[in-house]
Homo-oligomer: A and B are copies of this chain.
Amino acid sequence: MKVVIIGGVAGGMSAATRLRRLDEDAEIIVFDKGPYVSFANCGLPFYLSGEISEHADLVVQTPEKLQQRFNLDVRPNHEVTRILPDSHEVVVRYAGQLTHESYDRLILAPGARPIMPDLPGIADAKNIYALRSIPDLDQIMTGIQAESTQHVLVVGGGFIGLEVAENLVLSGLKVTVVEQAPHVLPPLDTEMAAFVEAELARNGVRVITGQAVASFEDAGKVAILADGTRLTTDLTIIAVGVRPASQLAKAAGLRLGFHGGIVVDKQYQTSVPDIYAVGDAIVVQQQVTNDPTLIPLASPANRQGRQVADNIAGLPHPNRGSLGTAIVRAFKLTAAATGLSEYQAQQAGLTYRVVHVRGGSHAGYFPGSTPLTLKLVFNPDSGEIYGAQGVGERGVDKRIDVLATAIKGDLTIDDLPELELTYAPPFGSAKDPVNMLGYVAMNVAEGLSKTIQWHQLPAALAAGRQVLDVRDVDELADGEFPQARNIPLNQLRQRLTELNPAQPYVVSCFSGQRSYIAERLLRQHGFDVVNLDGAFALYHAVRPQDLIYQR
């Protein structure tokens, strides 16, 4: 059997190596148009700062080693320019020459290509780049090492944009990030992204959200935003997302689907016989909604590469869809998400509720614990978990991994408290923040707690509710809700008579935990009360300007 693979990185090379392990006799040829195969795409941003200091560390395998170890015929700098399904051939360009290569099975793993918006002035610019490959990186490195380069503009505040921004700051440059969406990291919801924006600002990154770059002038030295703002930039990196690299597939008549992704069945077979596809280029099924979507991430690409080899070798392992779990480090902060965001749940028309929990990376009484904020999106009727997000200095990866696993295992909110996670003081808490998410969500689902979200507070106040802040007096110095009433939780039961039974309240504390206790107390004493989910800490992160700081 002769198998030809287009694309020699995450999906393609994983397919090649696995296929060899399954079939010593197969002829396996891997074409990649770039000079490197099997490289660490995900590491590229970290070379900008020198955090990954060795260029060679970006390359996981070389054609020579892949030949020796796996008997693979790996051909870098070979671009496949056409697929000829009828004759089972591909047309390959190498050093300007076109040749034909036949196949029994063809695997497409061409990845994605960065979206380059077709803006006025962009064609004349010499200083605008995207980062997808090692040659891209090398060009950018040359650009940022030029003495004249001081200000860098990053267009797009998604995961890659922020990694690039962070690493450019670490390398000493002044960085501006422009994001068209209302907040950075669109896979996160507004209030969670707010923590990241604050951390970016603390580290000197200028973040402009809700604004697109409209055009470039002066050979790319000036970027003009939709509202007319002019930004000077010595170098610009465009990171506004990727599109499936499906041009070849399209030209060959393969069926494309969602946003131009290649449509495959559960065995990764495309609509054309003997042609398979994996990785960033394919349409996958979102595991929560079952909707077709694109999830251009390394974990699914690697898995799919192995699975397509299995299927070709006659060891069926179907594609079971993707969840989409992503993480980014932004200076001292980590932000991560899995499954659906609140926004996505809303767009999908799902019945959902959300809760926020603030916990410690490990037991608070043990040194080094840092706070983290988790958000859960769930169905209050069935308990199904739709998605989760986390931000914090430490331990965010762990909690999102647990929640991604919980979603995979169809665990419900009722199961989260049952998770027995590793607990000793240096590692966790007897009630881990993930357990706590379950408790808080159950209280909402079971009607023990009625909550409002941060964005609902203004309407609640307008409708006549008053904020009852149950923090201790010394905590008020951090900021207060306008017109709030303060009674510290530990005095509340004694001072109930000070409250007006006819007045509806919204209780708040720092994290939402004490105010929940106050809520339970007040409701049982006949008050009309709701808890401000996430309370002061969350509100302060997302709408600091609405709070009062004089005292």
Q: A68-B493, A302-B430, A409-B410 are in contact. List 17 more A-B contacts (CB 8 A).
A: A21-B448, A21-B520, A40-B425, A43-B366, A43-B425, A51-B367, A58-B365, A69-B490, A299-B421, A315-B446, A325-B420, A327-B427, A329-B424, A329-B426, A338-B422, A398-B401, A404-B419
Q: Which residues of B contact A406 (CB under 8 A)?
A: 405, 408-409
* CB of A42 closer than 8 Å to a CB of B: yes
**Copies of this chain, tallied across the complex:** 2
Determine if B430 and A299 form an interchain contact, defined as CB atoms under 8 angstroms apart.
Answer: yes
* CB of A525 closer than 8 Å to a CB of B: yes
- Tell me how far the C-beta of A397 lies from the nearest C-beta in chain B, rounded to whole angstroms: 4
Determine if B427 and A397 form an interchain contact, defined as CB atoms under 8 angstroms apart.
Answer: yes
Q: Which residues of B contact A297 (CB under 8 A)?
A: 420, 423
Name A347-389 residues within 8 Å CB distance of B.
363, 365-367
In the complex with contacts A52-B366, A365-B52, A365-B58, A326-B405 CB distance below 8 A: no
Give 1 or 0 for each of A246-270: 1 = CB within 8 Å of chain B CB. 0000000000000000000000000
3 nearest A-B residue pairs (beta carbon):
A409-B409, A327-B422, A24-B524
Determine if A69 and B517 form an interchain contact, defined as CB atoms under 8 angstroms apart.
Answer: yes
Stretch from A111-119, A173-181, A217-225, A316-324 forming part of the interface with B: A316-324
Q: What are 15 sample pairs from A and B whose C-beta atoms fall under 8 A apart?
A: A25-B524, A40-B425, A42-B425, A51-B366, A163-B424, A298-B430, A303-B417, A329-B424, A338-B422, A397-B422, A397-B428, A402-B402, A405-B405, A409-B409, A409-B415
In the complex with contacts A21-B517, A423-B42, A427-B334, A303-B409 CB distance below 8 A: no
CB-nearest residue of chain B to A44: B425
Q: Which residues of B contact A428 (CB under 8 A)?
A: 327, 397, 401
Give 1 or 0 for each of A22-62: 1 = CB within 8 Å of chain B CB. 11110000000000000010110010000110000110100
CB-nearest residue of chain B to A21: B520
* CB of A341 closer than 8 Å to a CB of B: no
Which residues of A come within 8 Å of B, CB atoms? 10, 21-25, 40, 42-43, 46, 51-52, 57-58, 60, 65, 68-71, 159, 163, 297-303, 306, 315, 320, 322-329, 334, 336, 338, 363, 365-367, 396-398, 400-402, 404-406, 408-411, 415, 417-428, 430-432, 435, 439, 446, 448, 489-491, 493, 517, 520-521, 524-525
- Tell me how far the C-beta of A307 lies from the nearest C-beta in chain B, rounded to whole angstroms: 9
Determine if B417 and A366 form an interchain contact, defined as CB atoms under 8 angstroms apart.
Answer: no
Q: CA of A163 to CA of B424 in the docked complex: distance in angstroms? A: 10
Most chain B CB within 10 A, of A10, A320, A415, A418, is at A418
Q: Which residues of B contact A65 (CB under 8 A)?
A: 490
Determine if B329 and A418 form an interchain contact, defined as CB atoms under 8 angstroms apart.
Answer: no
Determine if A325 and B422 form an interchain contact, defined as CB atoms under 8 angstroms apart.
Answer: yes
